[in-house]
Structure 1
């Protein structure tokens, strides 16, 4: 703003946001000592900054390791930023096309420290219970959860993965770990009735130019309408449009 002088800033706020920015740019959980080494802020002041940001939800601290990552409050800010950068706007026409093609609900989910969250929903049949809507956190055995388990950095999903696996029988965990190899190779995930009886899903990833996972597109509908393997004609369509969407975000798709 023109009326503001260059010197009229709050230094402590600049320092605090510098800490948050540093954690965001590292792209992995950081311990207190890591943050101290990178920022050179005195330990007493750094404790105050980190405790304040954690209480506000700006940062999240893992109980087991004490490491810090971006917090839930930033999910709201991040979703707003996503909209401002037109990611949702750019992907919505594809979601609408898929909705018409599949005659089923289409979701777009992004990562949070509590797991993948639905941030966009296109559902032409509002009376149909799919077990998920905007704001829903999806479990690891859902097709969406399987994708995030496969493509997200292991450090970022560690706590979520361990918590989710504790709720599943050992044989189911083994099946999911086996299935992960297929998902990494084929870039598509299937789940038969993971949340609601007679309702199944199929998901594909959306990557950016850094080959990082931006989110997952999920098609949810009656089990007989949703493919359960890659040989299905609809699966071929989804794999193709998945590449098209990611290329739009700078991803360099390789031939199968």
Structure 2
């Protein structure tokens, strides 16, 4: 097929760069996922050109190819670019006030994370004024299968992608409570999807518990997770369902800020989150 030239008249444009950027823009505006055939059709370029561009973009982690369906989506390298990428992430900035409010509501440490190459990457952390600290750091990576933030993300992966991730990384045991089989993990993730939040029941570190919930972008795709973490003696079985409402509400509020229109009932949960934000938790 004939290849369309760039429409702008600027003499400084470089054709191959224009085309690569056009792919990124298509995935951004018309994604979240597009096949190679869809990209060829919408760009009006030939197959070999698009294939070469996709290969280069994938090598640089600017795009990712889904193991489950072979389609392409924007890659997390876009979130890491620049000398201070993490500190300037728009999504991180949008999450910040909600994390601060979550700390006020629960009195526990709040985290904001993404899934990157099968691991949890911590983008932000907010702590209450307590002497007992949660051993986590912005920029740190942890396994996904045994953390609250990680399981909240894994729960919404396509099944084949989850299986491939487990095949590559395994399910290492960190404590006696760690899930170490794919069957058990799938059962746990189904429960997370059903109730809307995850629980790390001392699965990564003994004495530490975590409650996580998924964050969605404008398309409804799960792109991040929010959690609170604290010592097991504070995150008791009785308190977890109460604390989980605040975590879910914070995740939904961030999702709204990212353009997600949400499901029925979200507004009521977020309204309660807002009403409770000014008050510290009672002990």
TM-score, normalised with respect to structure 2 = 0.68
Partners of 2:98 and 2:16 in 1: CA distance: 44
Instruction: Pick one of 206, 209, 216 that aligns with 1:200.
Output: 209
Q: Say which SS state the counterpart of residue 197 (structure 1) adopts.
A: coil
Q: Say which SS state the counterpart of residue 92 (structure 1) adopts.
A: helix
Structure 1 position 137 matched with structure 2 position 141 = yes
Partners of 1:109 and 1:250 in 2: CA distance: 18
Q: Say which SS state the counterpart of residue 140 (structure 2) adopts.
A: coil
Instruction: Pick one of 230, 235, 238 that aligns with 1:226.
Output: 235
Q: How many positions carry a matched residue from both structures?
A: 251
Partners of 1:223 and 1:182 in 2: CA distance: 21
Structure 2 residue ranges without an equivalent (≥5) = 1-7, 267-283
Partners of 1:65 and 1:233 in 2: CA distance: 38
Partners of 1:218 and 1:193 in 2: CA distance: 14
- Match runs of 1:234-245 below 5 Å: 234-245=243-254
Q: Deviations over 1:155-212 (max 9, x none)?
A: 6655434434454698643222112222112211101123222111111223345333
Partners of 2:68 and 2:155 in 1: CA distance: 23
Instruction: Pick one of 75, 79, 88 that aligns with 2:79.
Output: 75
Give, in angstroms, the shift of residue 74 of structure 1: 1.7
Instruction: Pick one of 84, 95, 102 that aligns with 2:99.
Output: 95
In structure 1, the residue matched to 2:168 is 163
In structure 1, the residue matched to 2:279 is none
Give, in angstroms, the shift of residue 50 of structure 1: 3.3
In structure 2, the residue matched to 1:149 is 154
Aligned 8 A contact 1:114 1:137 in 2: no
Q: Deviations over 1:54-91 (max 9, x none)?
A: 44332346799976544442231499599564x43332
After superposition, the Cα gap between the structure-2 partners of 1:42 and 1:203, relative to the gap in structure 1 and judged at 3 Å, is same
Greater shift in the superposed pair: 181-190 or 73-82 = 73-82
In structure 1, the residue matched to 2:109 is 105
RMSD (Å), alpha carbons: 4.0
Give, in angstroms, the shift of residue 109 of structure 1: 0.9
Give, in angstroms, the shift of residue 220 of structure 1: 1.3
Q: Say which SS state the counterpart of residue 224 (structure 1) adopts.
A: coil
Partners of 1:225 and 1:170 in 2: CA distance: 23
Structure 1 position 58 matched with structure 2 position 62 = yes
In structure 1, the residue matched to 2:25 is 21
Q: Say which SS state the counterpart of residue 233 (structure 2) adopts.
A: helix
In structure 1, the residue matched to 2:261 is 251
Partners of 2:95 and 2:68 in 1: CA distance: 37
Partners of 2:218 and 2:71 in 1: CA distance: 28
Q: Say which SS state the counterpart of residue 233 (structure 1) adopts.
A: helix
Aligned 8 A contact 1:247 1:253 in 2: no
Aligned 8 A contact 2:145 2:179 in 1: no
Q: Say which SS state the counterpart of residue 151 (structure 1) adopts.
A: coil
Structure 1 residue ranges without an equivalent (≥5) = none
